[in-house]
Amino acid sequence: MTGASDLVVAIDGGGSKTDVVLLDLHGRVLGWQRGPGSSPQVEGLGSSVHVIDELVVRVLDGRRAARLAHVGVYLSGLDLPEEIDAFRTAISGLPWSRGPLTVENDLHALLRAGTDAPDAVAVICGTGMNAIGVRRDGMVVRFLALGPLSGDWGGGTELGSAVVWHAARAEDGRGPFTGLLPLLLAETGATSVSALIEDVHLGRREDDRFGPLAPLIFRAAHAGDAVARSVVQRQADEVVAYVTACVDRLSLHDVPVPVVFGGGVARARDPMLLSAITEGLAARLPSAELAVVDAPPVLGAALLTLGDAGSEAAALARATEELSTDDRLAAGAAAVH
């Protein structure tokens, strides 16, 4: 596979970071760039396009865009057809977008990173939470994933907000005491939860920065805190609910269904959370088998993009090896310079 179009660019963008990799059609990583989040829902469409364009230009490193056999863009926040169309329009004037191009939600990349089974479910728990289910006849199940408006709960943002919510109620007496209260004050440096909330209300502190507080839930839960344990159980129940909804809507009860679990919360591999999810799936969907994806999410984007470009199985195997961890990805990209 040689000629003018001998490269692909694969892009995975979420609420906290964006990875862009350049590969040849044999699956060799030629470049890698990481930048801030590029979810259009979080950052806005213009900022999303700006982040991605800068990273693509950098990863191409002077190579001609005409050499691109395919570009795959997989982003969190592209949940509706209108959002995908708007993103396509926004990038249409950029040189790297003029050839064969795929624009899709990042759940497709997560699913491909974890399995190539024709019947499967993927649940992502990162900044937000979402899921996708696929069936061998091409049917796909999706969710609106527009936050509380569409019934969503369970991403890092919600988990971080739960820390503040329960700590506030513990402080003012509306709820039971929880170890989340002292942990929150130590983490933020606030003198009290009420002072922290006043700062948010008056614009002195941003409430969208609560996501990094999510690990406090698991720290307190493992210390035996009942309130934190209830939040972990709720998180597990949400994962099971997504999987159950996908299996029900796809009528996959009688076939083995791999369940790919990814995102920052998943990759932390908290044993209490994973145990609760496994138990919940066993009780409701005995045919489901949970698998956590530890590889960078851009692996799935790369495999899909190489496949769209016509690369063979050996190329996909090589890309899988080179993109298996952040360390391998960085080493592979550095080795070609």
Dist. CA 321–CA 276, nearest whole Å:
31
Place of tokens 């310079």: 337
Dist. CA 240–CA 273, nearest whole Å:
11
The full set of domains in the chain, from first to last, is 7-106+297-335 (3.30.420.40), 114-294 (3.30.420.40)
Dist. CA 21–CA 189, nearest whole Å:
38
Q: Of 95, 104, 123, 130, whose CA–CA distance to 13 is shortest?
A: 104
Dist. CA 299–CA 320, nearest whole Å:
7
Dist. CA 234–CA 232, nearest whole Å:
5
pLDDT value at 132 more than 60? yes
The pLDDT assigned to 247 comes to 97
> What are the tens digits of pLDDT across the range 47-102?
999 999 999 999 999 999 999 999 999 999 999 999 999 999 999 999 999 999 99
The pLDDT assigned to 15 comes to 86
The pLDDT assigned to 2 comes to 46
Share of the chain above pLDDT 70, in %: 97
Q: Of 208, 173, 204, 172, whose CA–CA distance to 189 is shortest?
A: 204
pLDDT value at 3 more than 80? no
The pLDDT assigned to 328 comes to 75
The pLDDT assigned to 190 comes to 95
Cα–Cα distances in angstroms (integers) from residue 213 to residues 159, 226, 333, in the given order: 8, 18, 32
CB 69 within 8 A of CB 41: no
Q: How confident is the model at residue 114 (pLDDT cuts 50, 70, 90)?
A: very high
Q: Of 262, 235, 260, whose CA–CA distance to 152 is shortest?
A: 235
> What are the tens digits of pLDDT across the range 191-217?
999 999 999 999 998 876 788 999 999
pLDDT value at 288 more than 70? yes
Dist. CA 164–CA 161, nearest whole Å:
5
Q: Of 101, 67, 235, whose CA–CA distance to 160 is shortest?
A: 235
Average pLDDT over residues 147-172: 94
pLDDT value at 17 more than 70? yes
Residue 234 phi/psi, 5-degree rounding, is -65, -40
The pLDDT assigned to 337 comes to 56
The pLDDT assigned to 1 comes to 42
- The answer to whether the Cα torsion of 226, 227, 233, 236 is positive or negative is negative
Measured N-to-C along each axis, helices 156-172 and 193-201 cross at an angle, to the nearest 10 degrees, of 120
Calculate the CA dihedral of residues 217, 159, 123, 284 and round it to 10 degrees: 70
pLDDT value at 109 more than 80? yes
CB 212 within 8 A of CB 160: yes
Instruction: Render 174-225 in DSSP notation, one character per residue.
Output: SS---THHHHHHHHH--S-HHHHHHHHHTTSS-GGG-GGGHHHHHHHHHTT-
Looking at residue 101, the DSSP 8-state letter turns out to be E
Cα–Cα distances in angstroms (integers) from residue 103 to residues 50, 245, 264, in the given order: 16, 25, 22
> What are the tens digits of pLDDT across the range 236-251?
999 999 999 999 999 9
Burial of 294 (0-12, 13-18, 19+ CB in 10 A): middle
In three-state form (DSSP H/G/I as H, E/B as E, the rest C), the secondary structure along 218-262 is HHHHHCCCHHHHHHHHHHHHHHHHHHHHHHHHHCCCCCCEEEEEE
Q: How confident is the model at residue 336 (pLDDT cuts 50, 70, 90)?
A: low
Place of tokens 């700590």: 167
Dist. CA 266–CA 279, nearest whole Å:
16
Average pLDDT over residues 171-186: 98
The pLDDT assigned to 297 comes to 86
